[in-house]
Homo-oligomer: A and B are copies of this chain.
Amino acid sequence: MSEMGITVKKSENFSEWYTQVVLKSGLADYAPIKGCMIFREHSYAIWEKIQEVFNKRIKEKGHKNVYFPLFIPESFLKKEAEHFEGFVPEVAWVTTGGNSKLEERLAVRPTSETIMYATYAKWIRSWRDLPIKLNQWCNIVRWETRATRLFLRTREFLWQEGHTAHATKEEADTEVIEILNIYKDLVENYLAIPVLVGKKTENEKFAGALYTTALEALMPDGKVLQMGTSHNLGQNFAKVFDIKFIGEDEKEHYVWQTSWGITTRLIGALVMVHGDDRGLVLPPKIASVQTVIIPIPYKDVDKELILRKAREISENLQKNGISAVLDDRSEYTPGWKFNEWELKGVPIRIEIGPRDVKKRQVTLARRDTIERFVVKEEEIVDTVTKLLEEIQSNLFNKAKEFLEDHTTTVKTYNDFKEALKKKGGFIRTCWCSNSTCEEKIKEETGATIRLIPLEKEELFSNCVYCDEEGKEVVYFGRAY
């Protein structure tokens, strides 16, 4: 038990707690190669759910999935200067193929703008070819030198990257926001993690973008985690890769482009935001196993009867669209199973013993509140259905409350520093729009501007740093 369970408290040693939950719940493991990780079945199933939800949404909007090559010639990466500067420090380079040294070294994809857009230039001729709306799910490599954090900072991770090309800036703007909204829906309504959305400053935007929008969530340690980004690339890449089309006006134009992505770090956020001292807590809508049924055979004589009843309940739940696993392994005790499934974060446990069979009832245990209660057999499906919804919204509401509690509005730099030190979280304040102030604050406190709200908020003071006229209400925070 002690080896299997989490041995530190979330509130006492957050970082160690996180690592233990990830490893012991079977979400992931360190790979036998530095900086890399193994996505075990329990996390990959969550990733498959995320793919399912997101694929459905973008396919409805007419996006299509594709797959572009893993390797990008160095000369391609170099074409857009800012982009190259942004990525080159963390590129893994292939220099040898078989027994031959390559003439030009190849980047293992750190992102795919350049390889994709070189091809878009070939595909796009006329306005009839627009828009192009493609997406790919793939692995990404960035040669991190900082310490590995499972899901949050590894040399390889999984993501989706969408890349679109449009005839006008307006269409590209719309695309950026529509995708941002799909991300927000996915993260808030499935992962049950509340987010702030907004625009990045010039300092923080994507290397090569016109502007970047993003979702930011608050972790229990008061630090901010970027949950996804959606960029308007303007015509920067179009000019570099010569992506032009003949418009309905019969003139030549450069296309307007967007790119956007979410990564497997979302799974790390899920662990941090909802987990507790017993392990993982999964929101029902993202859990591949929503209910686990554990037979409790006190006496051998009742065993077959209990199992039969357990199977009946399991089938009935599944018939009603609720995923259920019957844990009928005989080599483990019920107590051991309780701990294991709690560790894995399954939303509802259903216990069934000999007395329950006799009384035509079961005991339900909800993972989020650890409450247990007895339910009549005929009410199981209804109760579980309602409970799953309740758990989903309870998890979201708790996280939302935490976010609101840890968003502090300040007018002075002293208050800024104090709030950051005492509570962390988001610091809402006014800023003069000058990047010098932004950089000074980063140097002195480690906090950066996470977002400028999309809908301009009403100014309430001068710039928190230089005391010149405030131009923007912004949200600062210390980021992962």
Contacts and interface: CB of A to CB of B under 8 A. Distances in A.
A76 B32 contact: yes
A71 B69 CA distance: 16
Contacts of A37: 69
Given A70-B139, A97-B92, A44 B32 contact: no
A143 B76 contact: no
B97 A143 contact: yes
Indicate the member of A37, A64, A70 with the most B CB atoms within 10 Å: A70
B99 A92 contact: no
Interface string A90-113: 111111111100000110100000
A89 interface: yes
Contacts of A155: 71, 97
Given A70-B156, A119-B38, A108 B89 contact: no
12 contacts: A29-B119, A31-B69, A33-B115, A41-B64, A41-B66, A67-B158, A70-B139, A70-B156, A92-B98, A95-B96, A97-B155, A139-B139
A64 B92 contact: no
Interface string A225-256: 00000000000000000000000000000000
A47 B331 CA distance: 40
Contacts of A138: 139
B44 A64 contact: yes
Interface string A73-100: 1001000000000000111111111110
A65 to B, nearest CB: 5
Interface size range of chain A in the complex: 35 or more
- The A contact surface, by secondary structure, is mixed
Nearest to A90: B98
A444 to B, nearest CB: 28
Contacts of A71: 33, 36, 92, 155-156
Given A33-B73, A90-B97, 11 more contacts: A29-B119, A37-B69, A40-B66, A44-B64, A45-B65, A67-B158, A71-B92, A71-B155, A89-B99, A94-B95, A97-B155
Contact of A156 (B69, B123, B145): B69
Given A32-B119, A97-B143, A98-B90, A48 B65 contact: yes
Contacts of A93: 94-97
A134 interface: yes
Nearest to A329: B128
A212 to B, nearest CB: 23
Nearest to A37: B69
Contacts of A399: none
Interface string A127-167: 01000001000110101010000000001101000000000
B69 A33 contact: yes
Contacts of A70: 36, 108, 139, 141, 156
